[in-house]
Amino acid sequence: MVMNVKNKLYKNQGIHVITALFTVEQGITKVLLIKRKNEPFSGDWVLTGGALHNDEDLEVGALRELEEKTGISGVEIKQFKAFGKVNRSPVMRMVAVGFIGIIDSKRVNILRETRNTSNADWFPINKIPPLGYDHEEILHDALIELRKQIVKSNILKSLFPDGVTMPELQKTYEAILGHSFDRRNFRKKILSLDLIEDTNKSDKFEGNKPAKVYKFKDKIEHKDIF
């Protein structure tokens, strides 16, 4: 049976592509937010995103929105969930598809204002202002997904493209997961996950001692022991 595209049940629907882009700065997990210029939710902070174009794949649209509204490009993102409450947008029926990513914030310059935004900034995840749409729910679920991904994938490779020392990595895991680890136990666990490999370099230092530099592997097998 061919779908009747003129059926009113199929009209006035669209797709939002929303990205929760994270970073970790000095042991604090942060997310990038933008402030809307236009209605609905003018003046409200939201996650980066917008409406998908008819000729775009989902990820292409999410990356376009990220670049248009923050100036950030070349980011690796991962689709994680759809959000489809009927009234999540006051304009029309809009299903949101969520993405997550994590980058080194020191490597990018964000646009503070664009045609559709009046500000953009990194916010600690425990100091999030009220968000427009259902973005508090999306951010909540995005953080859960990030915590899952850091123990089963190489998603943190984008945060440490030049390598990372074990103390730096432990601080990052503690910041994202929200609890501390014994130094020796953490080292044992992270190495058993087989996510990283020794670069045979020690050009980073912790205190006065040289520290080994590791890098995330390109291909990994799923293990989850945290």
Mean pLDDT on 203-214: 76
Strand 196-206: give its sheet, edge to edge: 164-165, 209-216, 196-206
Which of the 8 DSSP states describes residue 6? T
Residue 226 forms part of a structural domain? no
Report in angstroms the alpha-carbon separations of 33 from 22, 87, 207. 10, 22, 34
- Note the pTM of the prediction, 2 decimals: 0.93
Quote the crossing angle between the two packed helices 135-149 and 166-177, to the nearest 10°: 140
Q: Are residues 93 and 193 in the same domain?
A: no
Output the domain CATH number for residue 49: 3.90.79.10
3-state secondary structure of 171: helix
Do 78 and 173 share a domain, yes or no?
no
Domain residues for the domain of 59 are 11-149
Choose the final residue of a domain: 149, 172, 200: 149
- Give me the CATH number covering residue 192: 1.10.10.10
pLDDT of residue 8: 79
Q: What value does the mean pLDDT of the chain take?
A: 93
Q: Given a cut of 60, is residue 57 above it in pLDDT?
A: yes
Total of domains in the chain? 2
In a domain, 28, yes or no: yes
pLDDT digits (tens, 9 = 90+) for 149-206: 999 999 999 999 999 999 999 999 999 999 999 999 999 999 998 999 999 998 656 6
